[in-house]
Protein backbone atom coordinates (compact mmCIF):
# COMPACT_ATOMS: atom_id res chain seq x y z
CA UNK A 1 0.00 0.00 0.00
CA UNK A 2 1.50 3.26 -1.13
CA UNK A 3 2.46 5.85 1.43
CA UNK A 4 2.23 3.58 4.45
CA UNK A 5 4.96 2.06 6.55
CA UNK A 6 5.77 -1.62 6.76
CA UNK A 7 4.10 -1.89 10.17
CA UNK A 8 0.87 -0.43 8.88
CA UNK A 9 0.95 -2.75 5.83
CA UNK A 10 1.48 -5.75 8.07
CA UNK A 11 -1.33 -4.63 10.35
CA UNK A 12 -3.65 -4.22 7.37
CA UNK A 13 -2.79 -7.66 6.05
CA UNK A 14 -3.32 -9.36 9.41
CA UNK A 15 -6.62 -7.66 10.02
CA UNK A 16 -5.22 -4.89 12.17
CA UNK A 17 -3.95 -7.05 15.01
CA UNK A 18 -0.23 -7.36 15.51
CA UNK A 19 1.07 -10.88 15.41
CA UNK A 20 -2.27 -12.30 14.25
CA UNK A 21 -1.96 -15.17 11.86
CA UNK A 22 -4.68 -16.27 9.51
CA UNK A 23 -6.16 -19.63 10.35
CA UNK A 24 -4.53 -22.40 8.38
CA UNK A 25 -6.46 -25.24 6.84
CA UNK A 26 -7.24 -28.26 9.01
CA UNK A 27 -4.71 -31.11 8.96
CA UNK A 28 -5.23 -33.80 6.27
CA UNK A 29 -7.39 -36.70 7.40
CA UNK A 30 -9.35 -34.65 9.93
CA UNK A 31 -13.14 -34.27 9.58
CA UNK A 32 -12.71 -30.55 8.95
CA UNK A 33 -10.26 -31.22 6.14
CA UNK A 34 -12.61 -33.73 4.50
CA UNK A 35 -15.51 -31.26 4.71
CA UNK A 36 -13.43 -28.42 3.27
CA UNK A 37 -12.13 -30.70 0.52
CA UNK A 38 -15.68 -31.79 -0.35
CA UNK A 39 -16.84 -28.17 -0.39
CA UNK A 40 -13.96 -27.17 -2.69
CA UNK A 41 -14.81 -29.97 -5.13
CA UNK A 42 -18.50 -29.05 -5.12
CA UNK A 43 -17.70 -25.48 -6.12
CA UNK A 44 -15.71 -26.83 -9.10
CA UNK A 45 -18.63 -29.01 -10.19
CA UNK A 46 -21.08 -27.30 -12.55
CA UNK A 47 -24.73 -27.24 -11.57
CA UNK A 48 -26.99 -29.76 -13.32
CA UNK A 49 -29.45 -26.99 -14.19
CA UNK A 50 -26.71 -24.89 -15.84
CA UNK A 51 -25.92 -27.66 -18.34
CA UNK A 52 -27.54 -27.92 -21.74
CA UNK A 53 -29.58 -31.01 -22.63
CA UNK A 54 -26.67 -32.50 -24.59
CA UNK A 55 -24.26 -31.82 -21.71
CA UNK A 56 -26.69 -33.47 -19.28
CA UNK A 57 -26.88 -36.45 -21.61
CA UNK A 58 -23.08 -36.59 -21.77
CA UNK A 59 -22.91 -36.56 -17.97
CA UNK A 60 -25.44 -39.40 -17.88
CA UNK A 61 -23.29 -41.50 -20.21
CA UNK A 62 -20.22 -40.70 -18.08
CA UNK A 63 -22.19 -41.78 -15.00
CA UNK A 64 -23.11 -45.08 -16.70
CA UNK A 65 -19.45 -45.64 -17.59
CA UNK A 66 -18.23 -44.92 -14.04
CA UNK A 67 -20.98 -47.07 -12.51
CA UNK A 68 -19.90 -49.93 -14.80
CA UNK A 69 -16.30 -49.47 -13.69
CA UNK A 70 -17.42 -49.46 -10.05
CA UNK A 71 -19.41 -52.69 -10.52
CA UNK A 72 -16.46 -54.35 -12.23
CA UNK A 73 -14.09 -53.24 -9.48
CA UNK A 74 -16.55 -54.50 -6.86
CA UNK A 75 -16.66 -57.93 -8.50
CA UNK A 76 -12.85 -57.97 -8.79
CA UNK A 77 -12.48 -57.00 -5.14
CA UNK A 78 -14.93 -59.71 -4.09
CA UNK A 79 -13.10 -62.34 -6.13
CA UNK A 80 -9.71 -61.25 -4.82
CA UNK A 81 -10.99 -61.21 -1.22
CA UNK A 82 -12.25 -64.77 -1.60
CA UNK A 83 -8.90 -65.85 -3.04
CA UNK A 84 -7.05 -64.12 -0.19
CA UNK A 85 -9.25 -65.92 2.30
CA UNK A 86 -8.58 -69.30 0.66
CA UNK A 87 -4.84 -68.62 0.42
CA UNK A 88 -4.78 -67.71 4.13
CA UNK A 89 -6.59 -70.94 4.98
CA UNK A 90 -4.13 -73.06 2.98
CA UNK A 91 -1.21 -71.11 4.45
CA UNK A 92 -2.55 -71.64 7.99
CA UNK A 93 -2.86 -75.37 7.37
CA UNK A 94 0.61 -75.53 5.87
CA UNK A 95 2.11 -73.58 8.81
CA UNK A 96 0.39 -75.99 11.22
CA UNK A 97 2.35 -78.83 9.62
CA UNK A 98 -0.44 -80.29 7.53
CA UNK A 99 0.60 -81.58 4.13
CA UNK A 100 -1.21 -79.86 1.24
CA UNK A 101 -2.19 -81.84 -1.85
CA UNK A 102 -0.95 -80.90 -5.33
CA UNK A 103 -4.04 -78.88 -6.23
CA UNK A 104 -3.82 -76.81 -3.04
CA UNK A 105 -0.12 -76.12 -3.62
CA UNK A 106 -0.86 -75.02 -7.20
CA UNK A 107 -3.65 -72.77 -5.89
CA UNK A 108 -1.18 -71.13 -3.51
CA UNK A 109 1.30 -70.56 -6.33
CA UNK A 110 -1.29 -69.16 -8.75
CA UNK A 111 -2.79 -66.82 -6.16
CA UNK A 112 0.34 -65.53 -4.44
CA UNK A 113 -0.55 -62.03 -5.67
CA UNK A 114 -4.15 -62.11 -4.41
CA UNK A 115 -3.52 -59.39 -1.81
CA UNK A 116 -2.05 -57.12 -4.48
CA UNK A 117 -5.04 -57.87 -6.75
CA UNK A 118 -7.39 -56.96 -3.90
CA UNK A 119 -5.61 -53.65 -3.30
CA UNK A 120 -5.74 -52.78 -7.01
CA UNK A 121 -9.46 -53.61 -7.23
CA UNK A 122 -10.22 -51.49 -4.17
CA UNK A 123 -8.19 -48.64 -5.70
CA UNK A 124 -10.21 -48.87 -8.93
CA UNK A 125 -13.44 -48.88 -6.91
CA UNK A 126 -12.40 -45.79 -4.94
CA UNK A 127 -11.40 -44.00 -8.13
CA UNK A 128 -14.72 -44.83 -9.84
CA UNK A 129 -16.67 -43.65 -6.79
CA UNK A 130 -14.63 -40.45 -6.67
CA UNK A 131 -15.33 -39.83 -10.36
CA UNK A 132 -19.05 -40.48 -9.79
CA UNK A 133 -19.13 -37.98 -6.94
CA UNK A 134 -17.58 -35.33 -9.17
CA UNK A 135 -20.32 -35.57 -11.80
CA UNK A 136 -23.16 -33.06 -11.49
CA UNK A 137 -26.60 -34.48 -10.70
CA UNK A 138 -30.13 -33.16 -10.54
CA UNK A 139 -30.95 -32.02 -7.01
CA UNK A 140 -34.66 -32.59 -7.63
CA UNK A 141 -34.10 -36.19 -8.75
CA UNK A 142 -31.70 -36.84 -5.87
CA UNK A 143 -34.29 -35.59 -3.37
CA UNK A 144 -37.01 -37.69 -5.04
CA UNK A 145 -34.93 -40.88 -4.96
CA UNK A 146 -33.90 -40.22 -1.34
CA UNK A 147 -37.49 -39.65 -0.17
CA UNK A 148 -38.17 -41.75 2.93
CA UNK A 149 -41.93 -42.04 2.52
CA UNK A 150 -44.41 -42.10 -0.38
CA UNK A 151 -45.85 -38.84 0.98
CA UNK A 152 -42.47 -37.10 0.65
CA UNK A 153 -42.06 -38.47 -2.87
CA UNK A 154 -45.57 -37.32 -3.80
CA UNK A 155 -44.94 -33.85 -2.40
CA UNK A 156 -41.73 -33.56 -4.43
CA UNK A 157 -43.55 -34.73 -7.58
CA UNK A 158 -46.20 -32.04 -7.06
CA UNK A 159 -43.57 -29.33 -6.41
CA UNK A 160 -41.07 -30.19 -9.17
CA UNK A 161 -42.74 -32.46 -11.75
CA UNK A 162 -40.89 -31.11 -14.79
CA UNK A 163 -37.43 -31.17 -13.22
CA UNK A 164 -37.84 -34.71 -11.91
CA UNK A 165 -39.30 -36.04 -15.17
CA UNK A 166 -36.59 -34.43 -17.31
CA UNK A 167 -33.76 -35.62 -15.07
CA UNK A 168 -35.23 -39.12 -14.86
CA UNK A 169 -35.53 -39.26 -18.65
CA UNK A 170 -32.01 -37.99 -19.25
CA UNK A 171 -30.53 -40.37 -16.65
CA UNK A 172 -32.36 -43.38 -18.14
CA UNK A 173 -31.30 -42.75 -21.77
CA UNK A 174 -27.82 -44.34 -21.50
CA UNK A 175 -29.23 -47.58 -20.04
CA UNK A 176 -32.02 -47.60 -22.66
CA UNK A 177 -29.48 -47.09 -25.45
CA UNK A 178 -27.31 -49.90 -24.09
CA UNK A 179 -30.28 -52.28 -23.87
CA UNK A 180 -31.37 -51.41 -27.42
CA UNK A 181 -27.87 -52.10 -28.73
CA UNK A 182 -27.76 -55.41 -26.88
* pLDDT band per the 50, 70, 90 thresholds, residue 106: very high
Q: Regarding predicted confidence, which is higher, 6 or 64?
A: 64
What would the pLDDT profile of 126-159 be if each residue is shown by its tens digit? 999 999 989 888 888 888 989 999 999 999 989 9
State residue 72's pLDDT score. Answer: 95
- Annotate the chain with DSSP letters as a single string: -TT--HHHHHHHHTTT-TT--PPPPPPTTSHHHHHHHHHHHHHHSPPGGGS-HHHHHHHHHHHHHHHHHHHHHHHHHHHHHHHHHHHHHHHHHHHTTPPP-HHHHHHHHHTTTHHHHHHHHHHHHHHHHHHHHHS---HHHHHHHT-SSHHHHHHHHHHSHHHHHHHHHHHHHHHHHHHHH-
Amino acid sequence: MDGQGADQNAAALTGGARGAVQASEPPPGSPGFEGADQQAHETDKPSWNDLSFLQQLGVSFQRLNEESKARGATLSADSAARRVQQVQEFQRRQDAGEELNVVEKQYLLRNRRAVSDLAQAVGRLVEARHNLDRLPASDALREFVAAQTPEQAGRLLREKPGEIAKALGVESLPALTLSLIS
